[in-house]
Amino acid sequence: MTEPRSKPSPLPKAAIFVGLVLLGFTFVVPFLWQILISLSSLTDVDLLTQTGYPPVVKPENYPQVFEKVDFARYFFNSFFVAGWVTLLQVITSSMAAYAFSRVRWPGRDRVFLLYLATLMIPGVVLMVPNFAVTLALGLFNNYWGLIIPGAFTAYGTFLLRQFMLTIPTSLDEAASIDGAGHWRIFTQVVLPLTRPGLIVLAIFSFLGNYNSFFWPLILTKDDNLRTLPIGLLAFDSTYGRETPLIMAASLMAMIPPVILFLCLQKYLVKGIQIGAVKG
């Protein structure tokens, strides 16, 4: 007779659950601390570190952010620039990825390796030549200078190429037998099947450009062109740092990326899993 199997002990699962809860709590604590500081007065920030809670809650810090600086304008600039850069990166990267994965032409793989090698160059090294080219083209201190240099990305091309390599080439052959050209195959066959990759690239591109600091800092001088990361510098002046207002502004600036991630996290995980199938 076979012995009855003993039930697995629930202790390992409980330990893992407790460990994950504690790990998640460590990620939440900085945000809770930021909320507490954003609801404090400037004189109570030091006291907050001692007591753990603000003696006087000041929700008026949030509307005061819009009174101190043109926060709504900074919000619009960040959304406008990040949105356009994301759209252009998705278009250019998908077209380049199609050329590198579905079209056969002499030297394709070698050119792709050279294209991929640009990822090894630090962005700081390219900052001066990019600024010189932007200045020569008359793109300094305007939206075009913030958008066009970021419209092309080797990483996005590599990411979408990996997705397109997972699509069977038999679909291309069947479409070409029906008389479809490269443009029709790209738009009606390959691109719809690459939607998870497009969403992943769009998320990464939007978040990266939404939080971009150094390039908007050196390329803009007018206040009406500043993005959110640059606009937050207005709260840090020679007269002192207005920490509660900085925290309040940062929390409001974090809301759109958090909403974007929560709405698209399913596609993000699915896209990363599919892209890892074939290297």
Domain count, the chain: 2
Check whether residue 47 and residue 72 sit in a common domain. no
- Taking only the tens place, the pLDDT of each residue in 26-79 is 888 888 888 888 888 877 777 776 766 666 778 888 999 998 889 999 999 999
Query: Which of these, 166, 195, 192, lies nearest to 277 by C-alpha position?
Result: 166
Look at residue 5 and tell me if it is in a domain.
no
Are 37 and 147 in a shared domain? no
Residues 94 and 184 in one domain: yes
Residues 45 and 120 in one domain: no
Amino acid making up residue 223: D
Instruction: Specify whether 144 is located in the same domain as 33.
Output: no
Chain centroid to Cα 82, Å, comes to 9
* Residue 3 belongs to some domain of the structure: no
Beta-bridge partner residues of 240 = 237
Confidence of residue 1 (pLDDT cuts 50, 70, 90): very low
Give strand pairing partners of 237.
240
Q: Label residue 233 by pLDDT band (50, 70, 90).
A: confident
Task: Output 279 or 93, whichever has higher pLDDT.
Answer: 93
The confidence score (pLDDT) of residue 5 equals: 60
Residue 42 lies in a domain: yes
- Position 146 scores a pLDDT of 92
pLDDT for 279: 44
Q: Does 259 lie in the same domain as 240? A: yes
In a domain, 4, yes or no: no
Rounded CA-CA distance 77/69 in Å is: 14
Tell me how far apart the alpha carbons of residues 9 and 72 are, in angstroms, rounded to a whole number: 55
pLDDT in the model for residue 91? 95
Token pair recorded at residue 213: 């600091």
Three-state DSSP state, 3: coil
Q: In the beta sheet, which residues pair with residue 241? A: 236
pLDDT in tens, 5-28: 656 566 677 888 888 888 888 888
pLDDT class of 84 with cuts at 50, 70, 90: very high
Residue 169 maps to a domain: yes
252 in a structural domain: yes
Q: What is the pLDDT of residues 157-197, one digit of tens each?
A: 998 998 888 888 888 888 888 888 889 989 888 998 888 88
Quote the Cα angle for 87-110-275, to 5°: 45
Q: Look at residues 48, 61, 56 and name the one whose alpha carbon lies nearest to residue 247.
A: 61
d(CA 133, CA 211): 23
Same domain? For 42 and 154 the reply is no
What per-residue confidence (pLDDT) applies to 173? 84
In percent, the amount of the chain with pLDDT more than 90 equals 25
pLDDT digits (tens, 9 = 90+) for 87-115: 999 999 999 999 998 888 898 889 999 98
Residues 30 and 124 in one domain: no
Q: Which domain range does residue 162 map to?
A: 61-275
> 96 with 211, same domain?
yes
Provide the CA 168 distance to its chain's centre, in angstroms: 30
Structure tokens at 22: 């504690």
Q: What are phi and psi of 173, to 5 degrees?
A: -65, -40
CATH code where residue 265 lies = 1.10.3720.10
Cβ–Cβ < 8 Å for 95, 76: no
